[in-house]
Chain A
Amino acid sequence: SQELEQSPQSLIVQEGKNLTINCTSSKTLYGLYWYKQKYGEGLIFLMMLQKGGEEKSHEKITAKLDEKKQQSSLHITASQPSHAGIYLCGADSNTGNQFYFGTGTSLTVIP
């Protein structure tokens, strides 16, 4: 099975600071997804990356997929309390029969 390791496991930052969350795969990624979740709520889809070197942005959140398609990073610029939650990366298996989630990163933003 595919393993997705996220780092750091948890993160506490002061409002206004930038931060980066990493997602590393044990195998080549065929579709890499980033989600945000507040505990007890459904997941919010942020963005999806497919091609090596691809980068996408949504508001103050930018995600990149490296050229080798085994690592993705999520970068938040000028963090706000509304960014707090658990960030999950997810990936398709190469057969498309399963979907794997990362271990999760818990983000706290202190006002």
Chain B
Amino acid sequence: DGGITQSPKYLFRKEGQNVTLSCEQNLNHDAMYWYRQDPGQGLRLIYYSQIVNDFQKGDIAEGYSVSREKKESFPLTVTSAQKNPTAFYLCASSTSDRRRGFSSTDTQYFGPGTRLTVL
């Protein structure tokens, strides 16, 4: 079955360490996204990528880095520069039909999420 996987489900990190969250999709989607969620709040966009080898900063990119070397994979690294990294991280993907100009009929598919806790 097609879908998005994120691993691990729970992750613990010591302060000052970098950590990488995995996101893989086999939906053949061009676009992939990383969001962060804090308790009781809406999602905030960290980074997004519309195509392989290209990615853009979202609203809260500071302290994070990404790569998009393959269409199926969009790993997120939480660096030691991120001041408050404890949160729930969601990865998403969607089709991106540039010919239409917008993807109003497409929806984003989300992974199960990774809960990161900094000790």
Are A and B physically bound partners?
Answer: yes
- Please, which residues of chain B bring their CB within 8 A of the CB of A94? 102
- State the Cβ distance, A10 to closest chain B Cβ, in Å: 7
Q: Give how many B residues have a beta carbon under 8 Å from the other chain's beta carbons.
A: 34
By beta carbon, the residue of chain A nearest B115 is A40
Q: Is the contact region of chain B dominated by helix, strand, or loop, or is it mixed?
A: loop
- B77 interfacial contact with A, CB 8 Å: no
The CA of A33 and the CA of B94, in the complex, are separated in Å by: 14
Q: Mark A87-110, 1 if CB is under 8 A from B, else 0.
A: 010101111111111111010000
By beta carbon, the residue of chain B nearest A93 is B102
The CA of A104 and the CA of B44, in the complex, are separated in Å by: 11
Please count the residue pairs between chain A and chain B whose beta carbons lie under 8 angstroms apart in the complex. Answer: 77
- B25 interfacial contact with A, CB 8 Å: no
- State the Cβ distance, A20 to closest chain B Cβ, in Å: 18
- State the Cβ distance, A54 to closest chain B Cβ, in Å: 12
Which among B41, B90, B100 has the greatest number of chain A C-beta atoms within 10 A?
B41
Query: Which residues 8-53 of A sit at the B interface, judged by CB distance below 8 A?
Result: 10, 30-31, 33, 37, 39-43, 45, 48, 50
- B108 interfacial contact with A, CB 8 Å: yes
Contact B112 A42 (CB under 8 A): yes
By beta carbon, the residue of chain A nearest B58 is A98
Q: A31-B104, A40-B115, A41-B112 are in contact. Are A96 and B90 (CB under 8 A)?
A: no
- A86 interfacial contact with B, CB 8 Å: yes
Contact B90 A106 (CB under 8 A): no
By beta carbon, the residue of chain B nearest A95 is B102
A-B contact pairs, 30 of them (CB 8 A): A1-B59, A6-B42, A10-B40, A30-B102, A31-B103, A31-B104, A39-B88, A40-B88, A40-B113, A41-B113, A42-B111, A42-B113, A48-B107, A50-B104, A88-B43, A92-B103, A92-B104, A93-B102, A94-B102, A96-B101, A97-B50, A98-B48, A99-B33, A99-B92, A99-B94, A100-B45, A101-B35, A101-B44, A101-B45, A104-B43
